[in-house]
Chain A
Amino acid sequence: MLYRENGQFKTGYAEDQQIFPIRQDRIVILVLVAVAFLAVPLLANEYLLRAILIPFLILSLAALGLNVLVGYCGQISLGTGAFMAVGAYAAYNLQVRIDGTPLLVSLLFGGFCATVAGVVFGIPSLRIKGLYLAVATLAAQFFFDWAFLRIKWFTNYAASGSVAVADLSAFGLPVVTPVQKYLFCLSIVALCALLVKNLVRGHVGREWMAIRDMDVAAAVIGIRPVYAKLSAFAVSSFIVGIAGAMWGFVYLGSWEPSAFSIDRSFQLLFMVIIGGLGSIMGSFFGAAFIVVLPIVLDRLLPALGAGVGLHVDTATVSHVVLMIYGSLIVFFLIVEPHGLARLWSMGKEKLRLWPFPH
């Protein structure tokens, strides 16, 4: 009823080509952004910000980066954790070696180093495809795990291999309290999401998608696979690298290589698959599903148990959370194999036709 585009006439190409051609979408997104920037910092308590929203935002960013590679360009990667680690350690090293480096410069440097690593480990993608490529990117994961564990220089000779960063600030503003950290993360995530959205609807994104859908056909119509694949690796690793640096700097504060282990790579790949391949929204849905849902379940179960007069102990809760969570993954994959983002767009389609579906 409300969601209808009747009467919205487009009088120019610019209007037709904008990110959200439907007015209602624009309003919803603007409200969402306003809520995220203005209302959330005012209303959310420290726990919500520090334990849920900040990790959710950072991992959404990483999932977004991975989605460029897997969802838009069709190159399966299991090295995401490694590229995050490259971003985090590169940013850390810049901060340690050159005193007083601004936080943003460190983050960008982390992203840049991850880009280089991504392109290098993306070269095999020119020859191998699909699952074989996944195995090749696994090499990146193991290589960087090894490098950050063994090469002491990277960790500045820290005794236990764990590194930490001092108080952060950006543009002269401190990034210390949960609200500041949240706003910092949110700004970067919003910027990157805008960047990716514009990339994927431009010619670069079309090249990626052509390669994803059929690389031979794409090559025939004049798309250079080398350029398309490596640019996807570069953009993806850049964003993943920034996310990694933020994970270390903003969320953990002090970390060791196990923060970016193979588990992280799998987690991010699941986010992309469950959220929706080739969808910006899907990255956020996937991150919400994987990060927030277990925590919500973990907190809900004892409350529900108490509601029916049952005392649920901690071990049972963790086990039940894993069970419910696992079955939900299976459920969503069966009901909607194209991810939560597809559910979302189907919902929108239905709303447009409501109440007269045909």
Chain B
Amino acid sequence: MKSKSLPLVAAIVAAALSATAPAAFAQAKEQFIPVLSYRTGAYAPNGVPFANGYVDYLKYVNAKGGLNGVRIIYEECDTSYQTDKGVECYERLKGKHGGASLVEPLSTGITFALTDKAPGDKIPIITTGYGRSDSADGNVFKWNFPLLGTYWSAADILVNYIGKKEGGLAKLKGKKLTLVYADHPYGKEPIPYLQEASKMHGFELQLLPVALPGIEQKSTWLQIRQSRPDYLFLWGWGVMNSTSLKEAVATGFPRDKMYGVWWSGAEPDVKDVGDGAKGYNALTLQHGAEPNAKITKDILATIHGKGQGTGPKEEVGSVLYTRGLLASMLATEGIKRAQERFGKGKVMTGEQVRWGLENLALDQKKIDALGFTGVMRPTSTSCADHRGDAWARIHTWDGTKWNFTSDWLQPDDSVIKPMVKASADKYAAEKKLTRRTPEDCQSAGGS
């Protein structure tokens, strides 16, 4: 037995060594983007379309000639939405192919863990519409980019929206608002804002946590039946969303009084509930389902048309797929922006990409050229503001598809900004960081 297994062991060890050896043969003109995805685990139904969109867009950029001639290479690593697995993935990928240019953790928990590592590794973290809300403050969170929106802006837009529906924010006084949230950093993010808003506008806030994965919500909905809130915000993820909707049907809570955040408003969340979810609203992160957008058609033609699509053709243009596209586009645009300053057609380092993300300027012309017309609105970031312009719409499920039911909305930054600053200051004090100086903002590399 021993002599037989020895060659096998040797082979395995050799293969393991070759797998762990750093890829020292990184060629020139290749920009590496690690892709942290979750195609397995409890959240796979939502994780898969996002990952497919993200990867498809990278393929699309390569098909169009890359980033001014620089080819993108990427590598996927499955995190199963678990923080420790995500950290392992990050460590595994960050040094490959000449170093990761940026990272999209795709989980608030992983974002928290990576936030501490980013400054040391000099890899910017993009969190499109998730992550720490206070990381919008670029003066403290130099390496974090919660692009397009944070949970505080989402909560603010929703509160303002229902205020408008009631006929003015003053009318919210005495109303009851319930937040059903995933008991996870993600779900807890909006709470500080909502508590502040409840003080400001005088509505009553009820907080109902749901333990993830959230397939057991009977007691939560019993409480909702007892308290009969006027509005319900849903901050769920994956199977928790559809379970909430099914429970809402069972308890008879009106679906049109339910508002989900943008992670609670995709097809997998409502498809199983079908007609039962009719009237359910969700906020969109700029885009909704975009089957008619130019970029959707382009991807279908250039990627899926050639049989190179990552997932099934049908999901192209769905909500989460489009979010993957958008996240990928913001990442590549950040790199392109960096190239404008540090040399077109060159491979950018993490620090240079950070500068690019900090100085994003996506105007309508650029958006049109990229094929994202109607999918997103112009946005720009700065040293102080790493979030950029947060635009959102409400879309409503009609039993078969999502339809936009509101105009473009924006958060009231006069409320959020001071909260972001206070929270970022607290983080800085805990971590013994100092705010960045104006000189640091202007310096090119901004080391």
Binding site for B on A (CB under 8 A): 45-48, 50-52, 55, 96, 149, 159-162, 164, 166-167, 251-256, 258-259, 295-296, 299-300, 302-304, 307, 313-315, 317-319, 322
Contacts and interface: CB of A to CB of B under 8 A. Distances in A.
Contacts of A253: 113, 116-117
Contacts of B178: none
Nearest to B77: A314
Given A315-B39, A315-B40, A256 B133 contact: no
B19 A161 contact: no
Contacts of A47: 20, 91-92, 95
A34 to B, nearest CB: 21
Contacts of B427: 164
27 contacts: A46-B91, A47-B91, A47-B92, A48-B20, A160-B185, A160-B186, A161-B185, A164-B430, A166-B430, A166-B431, A251-B87, A252-B87, A252-B113, A254-B115, A255-B112, A255-B113, A258-B83, A258-B184, A296-B16, A300-B16, A303-B18, A304-B15, A315-B39, A315-B44, A317-B78, A318-B40, A318-B80
A160 B117 contact: no
**Interface SS, B side:** helix
B132 interface: yes
The 5 closest A-B pairs by CB, nearest first: A315-B39, A51-B91, A160-B185, A253-B116, A314-B76
Given A160-B188, A318-B80, A258 B109 contact: yes
A157 to B, nearest CB: 9
A161 B91 contact: no
A152 to B, nearest CB: 10
A319 B108 CA distance: 24
Nearest to B88: A51
B217 interface: no
Given A149-B183, A159-B189, A253-B117, 12 more contacts: A48-B20, A55-B84, A164-B427, A251-B87, A254-B113, A254-B115, A295-B88, A300-B12, A314-B37, A314-B39, A315-B78, A322-B40
Interface residues of B, number: 48
A319 B186 CA distance: 26
Contacts of B108: 160
B191 A159 contact: yes
Contacts of A299: 16, 19-20, 92
Contact of A256 (B40, B78, B88, B185): B185
B423 interface: yes
Given A149-B209, A314-B76, A318-B39, A51 B87 contact: yes
Contacts of A46: 91, 95
Contacts of B185: 160-162, 256
A252 B91 CA distance: 12
A166 B84 CA distance: 19
A205 to B, nearest CB: 32
Contacts of A317: 78
B113 A159 contact: no
A51 B78 contact: no
Contacts of B174: none
Given A46-B95, A47-B20, A159-B134, A254 B112 contact: yes
B203 to A, nearest CB: 20
B112 to A, nearest CB: 5
